[in-house]
Amino acid sequence: MSSPLPADEQLLIEAAQKDARRFAELYEAHVDRVYAYIFRRVRDRAEAEDLTADVFHQALAKLGQFEWRGAPFAAWLFRIAANAIADRWQRRSREAGNLEVEDSDAAVNEEVERRVLLFQLVDRLPANQQLVIYQRFVEQKSIRDIAQALGRSEGAVKQLQLRALETLREQMGETNG
Amino acid sequence: MAERYDQLDQLIDGLFSRAETPLPETGSEFGPLVRLAADLCALPDPQFKQRLKEDLQRRATPIPAGFRTVTPYLVVPRGDELIDFMKQALGAVETMRSGTPGGFHAEVRIGDSMLMVGSAPSRPPSLAALQHYVENPDEVYRRALQHGATSLQEPTEEHGERFACVRDPFGNRWYLGRSLGPVYRPQGLNDINLFLHPAGAARLIDFLGRAFSAETIERHDSPGGVVYHAKLRIGNSVVEMSESHGWWQTLPTMVFLYVPDADALYQQALAAGAISLSAPADLPYGRSAAVTDPVGHQWYMTTPPSR
């Protein structure tokens, strides 16, 4: 989901501050971004889901405190996410004893936006390629299991995977200029 | 070709088993694709995203614990007798009662659902048809008859459900169902679901969409456009509907809605053609307003005080 334009985003935030049900629209616009931000730090699906839920719960609860000063809403969400991750790591570092050093904001944003774009492009793949990508990378199923589930040969599934990746590479290249 | 996709898949398998392994050079044959595949390992699960969205929507609506958006409100002259019937026949639990001029307001829980009951000797009753999913409809049907209900339909099997229907001593209709699937109630429905039988269901569906942002999640029409059966989602509740016919006639139903912004919803309902019963006002239980829909059902919308 691409980030809304600043003026639209400001209206959306004001609408959600008046009627919390509108928060779902902010969620839709930013969930991939927050997830990508968190995943690049924690590199674990269950933990990324847990932290993403935590960030949006906090954002919903604190939305009334958000003041529009021109900075993107995503930056506010990233701050909540960074704190949530730090809290968790601090708790853990008492046991394990190390804290990772974070990259610069620009590098983080660039990587996050690249992944958000990639996630959007996956949803535009032909249905059979999309299915293979989700089963392979989200569910981390083996080619054999996917082939069985889809009633296709393993070769056909590998071919779909290759085609999907080639299409994504091409489209990422085009979009990035 | 076969070798290319095999080689690529081996590299992808490597990503899953050794997350910290250096990626192939971008200049190598598979470098760019494997880097893309590494990024795809961060692809969020669509089911997780949907679950979280639903969770946030629930949290965004200020509904008191145990309630959902829609609560049928039954008002009869002798509320205590209706509550006794619900306790004895349906296993209801009364959770609160407070006095009102000439009567009382009470809340009862049946299974996972709440109902409101008003006792008001001097005002016309508000009745409802309620789809009630239970483990054993035959047993509940039998108990209901023992406690004064009238049979409208003996237990039978139709449309994938064991189904019976009774009218309680005050005129509310209880559709006792059990899904013939592994779980006693169909997915997405609750133990009690409001069932409306308007004359002009299509028009009411259109109205509810505009007035309360109701989303039609299922609808089966006759070739002539008569609504046989529809399910509408209002907030986190489901309301069922079918065109009135036979003994499935319209009842004078009152519905209580917990909403995030009663003022806004009241205006939205008026814009959709609702008739005002009461403009938004601050009441002890929250900001509340009421309207009548084109069929005559009364909708009370309330925003509880902030938690």
Q: Within this chain, do residues A3 and A46 fall inside the same structural domain, yes or no?
A: yes
Q: Within this chain, do residues A13 and A92 fall inside the same structural domain, yes or no?
A: yes
A110 within domain boundaries: no
pLDDT at A177: 47
Residues contacting B307, CB < 8 A, separation 6+: B62
Interface test with B, best of A100, A136, A176 (most B CBs within 10 A): A136
Residue pointed to by tokens 């209880």: B174
Largest distance between two CA atoms of chain B: 85
Q: Rounded mean pLDDT of B260-276?
A: 92
- Written as tens digits, the pLDDT of chain A (177 aa) is 556 666 788 888 988 887 787 899 999 999 999 999 999 999 899 999 999 999 999 999 888 888 888 788 999 999 999 999 998 888 777 665 555 556 677 888 889 999 999 999 999 999 999 999 999 999 989 999 999 988 999 999 999 999 999 999 999 887 654
Q: Give the distance from residue B94's alpha carbon to the nearest chain A alpha carbon, in angstroms.
A: 31
**pLDDT per position as a tens digit, B218-246:** 999 999 889 999 999 998 799 999 999 98
Q: Within this chain, do residues A130 and A92 fall inside the same structural domain, yes or no?
A: no
The verdict on A53 touching B (C-beta cutoff 8 Å) is yes
Q: Within this chain, do residues A41 and A98 fall inside the same structural domain, yes or no?
A: yes
A68 within domain boundaries: yes
Homologous superfamily of domain range B66-303 = 2,3-Dihydroxybiphenyl 1,2-Dioxygenase, domain 1 (3.10.180.10)
AA identity, residue B158: E
Dist. CA A77–CA A27, nearest whole Å: 10
Q: Within this chain, do residues A15 and A93 fall inside the same structural domain, yes or no?
A: yes
Q: Within this chain, do residues A74 and A148 fall inside the same structural domain, yes or no?
A: no
Q: Within this chain, do residues A55 and A98 fall inside the same structural domain, yes or no?
A: yes
The dihedral region occupied by B264, where left means phi > 0, alpha psi between -120 and 50, and beta the remainder, is alpha
Q: Rounded mean pLDDT of B103-111?
A: 96
Residues contacting B270, CB < 8 A, separation 6+: B276, B291
Return the H-helix or E-strand segment holding A7: helix A6-18
A119 within domain boundaries: no
Q: Within this chain, do residues A92 and A18 fall inside the same structural domain, yes or no?
A: yes
Residues contacting A79, CB < 8 A, separation 6+: none
In terms of DSSP bridges, do strands B254-258 and B298-303 run parallel, antiparallel, or are they unpaired? parallel
Residues in chain B whose beta carbon is closer than 8 A to a beta carbon of chain A? 1-2, 4-6, 8-9, 12, 16, 19, 32-33, 36-37, 39-46, 48-49, 52-53, 55-57, 59-62, 260-261, 264
In terms of DSSP bridges, do strands B237-241 and B192-196 run parallel, antiparallel, or are they unpaired? parallel
* Highest mean pLDDT: which range of A84-98, B8-22, B73-87, B227-241: B73-87
Which among A45, A69, A103 is the end of a domain?
A: A103
* Nearest in space to A115 (alpha carbons), one of B75, B307, B38: B38
A111 within domain boundaries: no
Which pTM was predicted?
A: 0.58
Give chain A positions within 8 Å (CB) of B49: 31, 35
Angle at the Cα of B47 (from B42 to B50), degrees rounded to 5? 110
Q: Give the distance from residue B76's alpha carbon to the nearest chain A alpha carbon, in angstroms.
A: 34
Q: Give the distance from residue B238's alpha carbon to the nearest chain A alpha carbon, in angstroms.
A: 17
Give chain B positions within 8 Å (CB) of A40: 42
Quote ipTM for the complex. 0.90
The verdict on A137 touching B (C-beta cutoff 8 Å) is yes
Dist. CA A121–CA A32, nearest whole Å: 12
In terms of DSSP bridges, do strands B150-158 and B275-283 run parallel, antiparallel, or are they unpaired? unpaired
Neighbours of B77 (CB within 10 A): 16
Stretch 59-78 of chain A: residues touching chain B, C-beta under 8 Å: 60
Q: Which tokens is B46 given?
A: 């669509």
Contact A43 B36 (CB under 8 A): no
Q: Within this chain, do residues A87 and A5 fall inside the same structural domain, yes or no?
A: yes
* Number of separate domains in chain A: 2
A65 within domain boundaries: yes
In terms of DSSP bridges, do strands B93-100 and B192-196 run parallel, antiparallel, or are they unpaired? unpaired
Dist. CA B198–CA B244, nearest whole Å: 5
Q: Within this chain, do residues A1 and A85 fall inside the same structural domain, yes or no?
A: yes
A115 within domain boundaries: no
Q: Rounded mean pLDDT of B256-266?
A: 89
Which among A52, A72, A103 is the end of a domain?
A: A103
Dist. CA A32–CA A37, nearest whole Å: 8
> Strand, helix or coil at A113?
helix
Structural domain boundaries, residue A75: 1-103
Dist. CA A174–CA A167, nearest whole Å: 11
Lowest mean pLDDT among A29-43, B55-69, B74-88, B184-198: B55-69
Q: Within this chain, do residues A15 and A97 fall inside the same structural domain, yes or no?
A: yes
Dist. CA A155–CA B204, nearest whole Å: 53
CATH code at position A133:
1.10.10.10
Domain ranges of chain B: 2-43, 66-303
Dist. CA B289–CA B282, nearest whole Å: 9
* Nearest in space to B245 (alpha carbons), one of B209, B278, B283, B198: B198
Q: Within this chain, do residues A46 and A89 fall inside the same structural domain, yes or no?
A: yes
Neighbours of A61 (CB within 10 A): 11
pLDDT at B307: 45
A48 within domain boundaries: yes
- Whether residue B57 contacts residue B51, with contact meaning beta carbons closer than 8 Å, is answered with no
pLDDT at A175: 64
